[in-house]
Amino acid sequence: MTLRPMLTPTRRRLRSSRVLQLVLVAALWQLGNAVARATGWPIPGGILGMLALLALLASGRVHDGALRKGANWLVGEMLLFFVPAVLAVLDHPELLGWLGVKIALLIVLSTVVVMSTTALVVELGLRLAASPEDAHGTH
């Protein structure tokens, strides 16, 4: 008896159910939390869960279509996740003055630095991948 015939209906059900997709993402998040607590690593469980999901996607165990509906829902409703943060800012009026301006400026500048660095690294990686002989210094 092989496992493949039993997995096909499960994969079909996962691909069609947004709730099951969200449950899978939450389960990986909790798995990451458990690993972080058990090992004592100073890495957030969400990051470890995301790495587990990346490993599943890269290995082909989970197809990207298996999580598409759940991911699209999370992105579509992302604004709701910011409501608690906005309410927290309202509890601290000092953030609406110069301190808030300084923090906002720091956030914008650090975002620009991170995005620029990421773009440069990706560009360098693409150039190296396009011409591997140039990476070794041979022309």
Q: What confidence tens digit (pLDDT) does each residue in 32-71 have? A: 999 999 999 999 999 999 999 999 989 988 887 888 888 8
85 and 55 in a single domain? The answer is no
* Per-residue pLDDT at 9: 66
20 and 60 in a single domain? The answer is yes
5 and 58 in a single domain? The answer is yes
The chain-wide mean pLDDT, for the chain, equals 84
Are 20 and 41 spatial neighbours (Cβ–Cβ below 8 Å)? no
Cα–Cα distance measured from residue 119 to residue 50, given in angstroms and rounded to the nearest whole number: 21
17 and 68 in a single domain? The answer is yes
* Per-residue pLDDT at 34: 96
Are 69 and 21 spatial neighbours (Cβ–Cβ below 8 Å)? yes
pLDDT at 15 over 80: no
22, 57, 76 — which closes off a domain?
76
68 and 95 in a single domain? The answer is no
55, 76, 97 — which closes off a domain?
76
Tell me the pLDDT band of 4, cut-offs 50, 70 and 90.
low
pLDDT at 137 over 70: no
Tell me the pLDDT band of 136, cut-offs 50, 70 and 90.
low
Supply the range of the domain harboring residue 130: 81-139
* Per-residue pLDDT at 69: 87
* Per-residue pLDDT at 119: 95
72 and 89 in a single domain? The answer is no
